[in-house]
Amino acid sequence: MKILVINSGSSSLKYQVYDMTNESVLAKGLVERIGMDSSILNHKPTGKEEITEVSEILEHTTAIRKVLDKLTHEVHGVMSSISEIQAVGHRVVHGGEAFKESALVTDEVKAEIRRLIDLAPLHNPAAMMGINAAELNMPGIPQVVVFDTAFHQTMPEHAYLYAIPRVLYNKYKVRRYGAHGTSHDFVSKAAAEFLDRPIEDLKIITCHVGNGGSLTAIKNGVSVDTSMGMTPLEGLMMGTRSGDLDPAIVPYVMNKEDLTINEVNSMLNKHSGLLAISGISSDMREITEGMEKGEANSTLAFNMYEYRLRKYIGSYAAAMNGVDVIVFTAGVGENSVVLRQRVLEQLTYLGVEVDEELNKIRSGEPRRISTANSKVEVLVIPTNEELVIARDTHRIVGATQ
Ligand SMILES: Nc1ncnc2c1ncn2[C@@H]1O[C@H](COP(=O)(O)OP(=O)(O)O)[C@@H](O)[C@H]1O
Ligand SMILES: CC(=O)OP(=O)(O)O
Ligand SMILES: [Mg+2]
C-alpha cells in the first residue's frame, strides 16, 4: 500500500509518500508560504533529482494539487498515476478528549475536529484545510487522522487539571492536553528497544525540542505529564513561543498596550521565545552562532532556553520519583551538541554523566551519549512522526478492507 502523509501548518504543508511493503520513503517535500506572495515547493523524490519551484499557491487545495503533479511528473515523479496512493494520513495537533487514538476520517470525525478549533485556533484550522484539500483532489481515497494529543490522554487528573474553577473544565474542557505525542510515543518505544529493556520497567523523560518543544514524563510506557498545555504555548521557551509565564502578564500588557485578544495571542505565539530575546532569529543554529561570536542577546536567549529545559527535566524526575532514561529528539535535540552538553553537565545530582566525545558524534541513528557509569541512560533518538502516521494509516485502512 502506498500512503501519502500530510502535516499541514497554517502556511505550510509537509508531505511524505511511503511504500508500506517495506516502509520505504518514495518522496518527501515541503510547500512553504502558502497564501503569501511567492510560495515555494521543494520536492525530493528518493534516488532522483530534487526540484524547487516558486509560484503562487493561495490555499492548501492548490498546494496538494501541485504536490500530486510532482508525484506523477515524468522526470521527478515516483508513480505513474495518483490512483496508486491508497490512503492519506494527516497529523492533527488537537484531538481534545474525544480522540484517544488515531481515527478514520468520517463526517463525524471532521465535525469533531472542527469543534476543537476553539481549543486550538492556531493549529486545527490548518489540519482541516489539509483534510478538505486531500478530499477534493483525491475523492474516495480513505483518510486517517493521527493526533498529537492522543498519547497524553493517559495523564492523571492531578497532572492535567489547572488550579482554576472546575466549572471551566466542565463547561469548556479547559485542561492540559499536551502535543508532539506521536513523537514522544515513538522515541520512548525506540529507547526501550535500543536498551533492550521492557518499557514498563522504565521511567523516561523525552525531550522533543524543535521549533516547537515539549517534554514528557513516561512511566510504565504511558504519558504521566507533559509540558505543553491546553494549547502548544505552555512549557518550554521555543523558537517564537514564550512558554511558561505569569498569566497576570496577559491582562496587564493588553491593558497597557491596548492589545486585542488576537494581538496578544500572536505576540506570545509568534513574536516571543528565542526570536524575542535574541532579536535576530528563532533558529537555534543562528542563536548558537551568535553566542559563539560573543553576542550578548543570543547568549542570553540560549541560556534561558537551556535553563528552562533543565528545570523541566528536574521537575519530571520529581514527578516520577526518579528517571532511568533521558531522550533528546527533534531538530534541536538531535543536532545541538552544545545544548545537550550544557543541560547534561548540570544534572550530576541525578547521577547523569555525559560522555563528551559520544555527544559530539553526528549521526542519524539512535545512540547513547552517557558514560558506562552514568546512573541515567541518555540517548539521542531521531524522531519519525511521519512513519508513525503512515503505520497507523496502514493499520486502520487495512482493517476496513
Ligand atoms: N545543527 C543544529 N544545531 C542547532 N539547532 C538545529 C540544528 N539543526 C536544526 N536545528 C533546529 O531545529 C529546529 C527545527 O526543528 P524541527 O523539529 O524540524 O521543527 P518543526 O518540526 O517544529 O518545524 C530549527 O528551528 C533549528 O533551530
Ligand atoms: C504542536 C507543535 O508545537 O508543533 P510544531 O513543533 O510542529 O510546531
Ligand atoms: Mg515538529
Q: What pLDDT does 119 receive?
A: 87
Q: Report pLDDT digits (tens) over 170-179.
A: 999 999 999 9
- Tell me if residue 197 falls in helix, strand or coil: coil
CA 63/CA 31 separation, integer angstroms: 7
Q: Report pLDDT digits (tens) over 37-84.
A: 899 999 999 999 999 999 999 999 999 999 999 999 999 999 999 999
Number of neighbouring beta carbons within 10 Å of residue 348: 12
Q: 143 C-alpha to center of ligand 1: Å?
A: 29
pLDDT of 401 over the 80 cut: no
Query: Which CA distances in Å does 391 have to 160, 283, 284, 385, 398?
Result: 28, 31, 31, 10, 10
Region 13-36: what's the mean pLDDT? 95
Mutate to test the pocket of ligand 1, among 10, 283, 309, 362 (most ligand atoms within 8 A of CB): 283
Q: What pLDDT does 371 receive?
A: 98
CA 90/CA 142 separation, integer angstroms: 11
Q: What pLDDT does 10 receive?
A: 78
Contacts of 35 (CB under 8 A, 6+ apart): 11, 57, 58, 59
**17-31, 94-108, 119-133, 291-305, range with the lowest pLDDT:** 119-133
Q: What pLDDT does 37 receive?
A: 83
Average pLDDT taken over every residue of the chain:
96
Q: Exposed, middle or buried by CB within 10 Å (0-12, 13-18, 19+), for 238? A: buried
CA 113/CA 272 separation, integer angstroms: 28
Number of neighbouring beta carbons within 10 Å of residue 193: 12
- Tell me if residue 90 falls in helix, strand or coil: strand
392 counts as catalytic: no
- DSSP annotation of 161 reads -
CA 185/CA 38 separation, integer angstroms: 36
Region 2-22: what's the mean pLDDT? 94
Contacts of 348 (CB under 8 A, 6+ apart): none
CB distance 88 to 139 below 8 Å: no
Contacts of 389 (CB under 8 A, 6+ apart): 5, 7, 89, 90, 91, 102, 144, 146, 182
Contacts of 382 (CB under 8 A, 6+ apart): 329, 334, 364, 365, 366
From the CB of 332, is ligand 2 less than 6 Å away?
no
pLDDT of 91 over the 90 cut: yes
Set of cell numbers at residue 308: 528552562
Q: What pLDDT does 63 receive?
A: 94
Q: What pLDDT does 120 receive?
A: 86
Q: Exposed, middle or buried by CB within 10 Å (0-12, 13-18, 19+), for 399? A: exposed
Q: 331 C-alpha to center of ligand 1: Å?
A: 3
Mode of pairing for the β-strands spanning 325-329 and 203-209:
parallel
Q: Report pLDDT digits (tens) over 278-297.
A: 999 999 999 999 999 999 99
Confidence of residue 191 (pLDDT cuts 50, 70, 90): very high
Closest CA to 209 of 287, 295, 101: 287
Q: 311 C-alpha to center of ligand 2: Å?
A: 21
Does 210 count as an annotated binding residue? yes
Mutate to test the pocket of ligand 1, among 180, 332, 380, 385 (most ligand atoms within 8 A of CB): 332
**What residues does the ion ligand 3 have nearby, CB within 5 Å?**
210
Q: Report pLDDT digits (tens) over 220-277.
A: 999 999 999 999 999 999 999 999 999 999 999 999 999 999 999 999 999 999 999 9
pTM of the model: 0.95
Confidence of residue 121 (pLDDT cuts 50, 70, 90): confident
Residues within a 6 A CB radius of ligand 1:
210-212, 239, 283-285, 288, 330-332, 335-336
